[in-house]
Amino acid sequence: MKKLIISYLPAVFLFFLGCNAATKSADTAETAELVINNAKVYTVNKNQPEAEALAVKDGKIIFIGSNNDAKKYIGDKTEVIDARGQFVMPGFIEGHGHIHGLGFSLTNLNLMNVKNWDEIVAMVADAVKKAKPGDWIIGRGWHQEKWNPAPAKNYLGYPYHEELDKVSPNNPVYLSHASGHSAYVNAKALELAGITSSTKNPSGGDIVKDENGLIVGVLAETAQGLVSRAYGAWVNQQSIEAQKAKWAESIRLAEEDCLKKGVTSFQDAGSSFEQVQWMKELAQQGKLNIRHWLMVRDNNAALRSHANVFPILNEGNGFLTVKAVKVSLDGALGSYGAWLLEPYSDRAGWVGNNTFNIDSLKAIADFCWQNNLQLCVHAIGDRANRELINIYAGQIAKEKNKDHRWRVEHAQHVNPTEIPRFKEWNVIASMQGIHCTSDAPFVPKRLGARRSEEGAYVWQSFLKAGVVINNGTDTPVEDEDPIANFYASVTRKLKDGSEFYPAQKMTREQALYSYTMANAFAAFQEKEKGSLEVGKYADIVILSNNLMTCKDEEIKKTRVVTTIVGGKVKYKGQF
Ligand SMILES: [Zn+2]
C-alpha cells in the first residue's frame, strides 16, 4: 500500500490534487474552499447525527447537510473531495498522550515490535555504525516477556549487558522498557553514571544484580535516574539551538504519525515550561500541523514562579492551548507501583507507591483553583483514586458550582464507592481503552477476581453514574492508533480472543464520543471541535470503514483515507 504524505507540499499543488471541475450555482451565498460530498458523515452532533456533505471556509465548517444543498458552496476554486460513500467523522482527539515522548521514540530506536534480544543487539550495532564515538544510543519499547526465544544466558529473563558491550564499546547505550519503569544499559553507560557493583540502590530503585553480585544491565524505577543524569549532562553539552532543532524535528515526526492515524488534536500529559515555550514559538510561526493542548508538569514552587505563563489560549490560530497542570500520585499496576487500598494479590503485604506528597498536591490544587487551571492527576490504584477525590472534593467544595473540569488521569482501578464521588464533584475520568486489553493478562493476578470485576476499567459503571469518560492511548506507552483503541473500547477483546469483563464494554456511540466530543469537553474545547457542526474547526477524517456499523473484526482493518486539519488536507492514504 502506497501512502503519500502531502502536508508539506505547496498549497497550489494541494488544490489541484482534489479539484474537480465544478459549476458555480447562481445563488451562491458563500464560496467554500473545500467541499466533501457523497459521504457517510457521522457528525457526533445529536441534533444532526448524519449528513452527506459539508463545506469549509477559512478553516471552519460553514455548511453540513445534503449533497444537493452543498452544491451552492462550490465555486471555481473550491476543492471538492468525492468521498465515494466512505465514512467521514470529526478528527480523532488524543485525550492523553506524551507528544515529546512520541517524538523522542520516533527519532531513536523503536524496540516495540522486536522479536528477541538478538534483534535488539543487531539494531544497536547498526546505530553505532552511524554514530560518532561517545554519542548515546537511545531506544525504547522492549519487553522481556515478549521475546522469542528468551536469551540463553539470562537472570530473571534479562540477558547480561556483555553482548551490548561487544557491539558498542565506546557508545553508551540506554534502552527504556515499554512501560518506562526500567531501562537496559551497557558498560559504557554504567561507567559514565559511576555505577559499580558496590554502588548502593537509590531509594525506590534497583540496580539488578545476579546471585554473584554481577550487574545484569537492568535499572529499575529510580535507579534509571543515575544513568539518565549522565545522558542529560551529554545532551546539555549541545547548544540550546541544537537541542531545539532536534526537538522540533521529533515533533514534526510525531505530528506526521498522528496525521496518518487520523489524529488532528493531541492532549499532552506532561510538558516542561521550556517545552511549552518552544511549542509556543512553533505555533506563532504557523509550523504546527495538529492542534496541541499541553498539561504542564512541574513542582509547586516552579508552577508559582511561572504562573504568568498561563493561560495560553488558541495560539497560532487555534493550534496551542496551555491551561492545565499534571501531577502523578502513584505508579503503574504492571510494575507494582499502583497505590492500592489492600495489598496486591500476588505480592504479600505490598500496596504500591505513593509518588507525590499529599500536602504538596493540596497546595498545587489550591494554585490551580486560584488561577482557573485544570488539574489532571495520574491515579491508577484504588488508594490513589480515593486520596485524589478527597483532595479534589476539599477544593471544589469551596465553590461547588464552578466549571472546573478537573481530571483523573487513568482512573484505572477504583473502589466502587468512588464512582458516585466522581459524579458528585464533576470529575472527569480520563481513561485509555487500549490499556484495558494490553494489561488484562496480568490484572487478575495483581488484583484478584473481585477487584478486577468491580473496579478495573469500569467504563459502564462510570457512564451509568453520569461520569464523563474521555479516551486516549498514553502513547508512546501504546501505539498512537485511535482505531486499535476504538476496537479495544468496544470489544475488550484480548489477543487470545477472550474478553475482559465484557459487561463494561463501551457501545460504538460511547466509544466514538469518548474520542471526539468528550476529549474536547475535557479540554474546554467543545465549542471549537469534537463534532462536525457549523462554526467548528474543519478537523475531519475519512475512513475506509463505517465505524458505527462494520463488524467488530472489520474495525481493525479500517484505514485512514484522508486527514484534514483546519480545512487543509494534511494526509492522504489509499482511497
Ligand atoms: Zn501518561
Q: Residue 421 to residues 330, 385, 396, 455, 575: CA-CA distances in angstroms? A: 20, 10, 12, 14, 47
Ligand 1 centroid vs 100 CA: distance in angstroms?
11
Ligand 1 centroid vs 269 CA: distance in angstroms?
6
Ligand 1 centroid vs 267 CA: distance in angstroms?
10
d(CA 449, CA 443): 9
Ligand 1 centroid vs 96 CA: distance in angstroms?
6
Report H helices in 335-481.
Answer: 358-370, 382-396, 419-424, 433-439, 443-455, 459-464
Ligand 1 centroid vs 125 CA: distance in angstroms?
31
Ligand 1 centroid vs 326 CA: distance in angstroms?
10
Question: What is the grid cell recorded at 289?
Answer: 500541523
Ligand 1 centroid vs 175 CA: distance in angstroms?
19
- pLDDT 10s digits, 183-203: 999 999 999 999 999 999 988
* Residues lying with their CB under 5 A of ligand 1, a single-atom ion: 269, 474
Q: Residue 500 to residues 52, 262, 505: CA-CA distances in angstroms? A: 37, 27, 9
Burial of 455 per CB tally in 10 Å (0-12, 13-18, 19+): buried
β-sheet bridge partners, residue 560: 543
Ligand 1 centroid vs 178 CA: distance in angstroms?
12
d(CA 219, CA 334): 16
The H-or-E segment that residue 418 falls in is none
Helix (H, G, I), strand (E, B) or coil at 81: strand
Q: What is the DSSP letter of 505?
A: P
Looking at residue 355, its pLDDT comes to 87
Q: How many of the other CB atoms lie within 10 Å of CB of 309? A: 15
Looking at residue 5, its pLDDT comes to 39
Ligand 1 centroid vs 18 CA: distance in angstroms?
38
Ligand 1 centroid vs 101 CA: distance in angstroms?
10
Q: Residue 175 to residues 137, 312, 435, 573: CA-CA distances in angstroms? A: 8, 35, 22, 32
Question: What is the grid cell recorded at 514?
Answer: 469518548
Ligand 1 centroid vs 72 CA: distance in angstroms?
46
Ligand 1 centroid vs 98 CA: distance in angstroms?
6
Report H helices in 46-131.
Answer: 67-70, 99-107, 117-130
* Range in 7-11, 346-350, 429-433, 496-500 the model is least confident about: 7-11
**Residue from 70, 251, 279, 105 nearest 178 by CA:** 105
- pLDDT 10s digits, 90-113: 999 999 999 999 999 899 999 988
- pLDDT 10s digits, 378-397: 999 999 999 999 999 999 99
pLDDT over 90 at 4, yes or no: no
Ligand 1 centroid vs 474 CA: distance in angstroms?
5
- pLDDT 10s digits, 324-371: 999 999 988 988 889 999 999 999 999 998 989 999 999 999 999 999
d(CA 517, CA 527): 10
Ligand 1 centroid vs 565 CA: distance in angstroms?
25
Question: What is the grid cell recorded at 205?
Answer: 530503585
Ligand 1 centroid vs 97 CA: distance in angstroms?
6
Looking at residue 16, its pLDDT comes to 38
Residue 39 zone, left/alpha/beta (φ > 0; ψ -120 to 50; rest): beta
Ligand 1 centroid vs 124 CA: distance in angstroms?
27
pLDDT over 90 at 253, yes or no: yes
pLDDT over 90 at 22, yes or no: no
Tell me, what amino acid is at 427? Answer: V
Burial of 243 per CB tally in 10 Å (0-12, 13-18, 19+): middle
Residue 135: pLDDT band with limits 50, 70, 90 = very high
Residue 29: pLDDT band with limits 50, 70, 90 = low
Q: Residues 332-364, buried b or exposed e (16+ Cβ, 10 A)?
A: bbbbbbbbbbeebbeeeeebbbbbbeeeebebb
Ligand 1 centroid vs 219 CA: distance in angstroms?
21
d(CA 404, CA 370): 11
Helix (H, G, I), strand (E, B) or coil at 470: strand
- pLDDT 10s digits, 48-67: 999 999 999 999 999 999 99
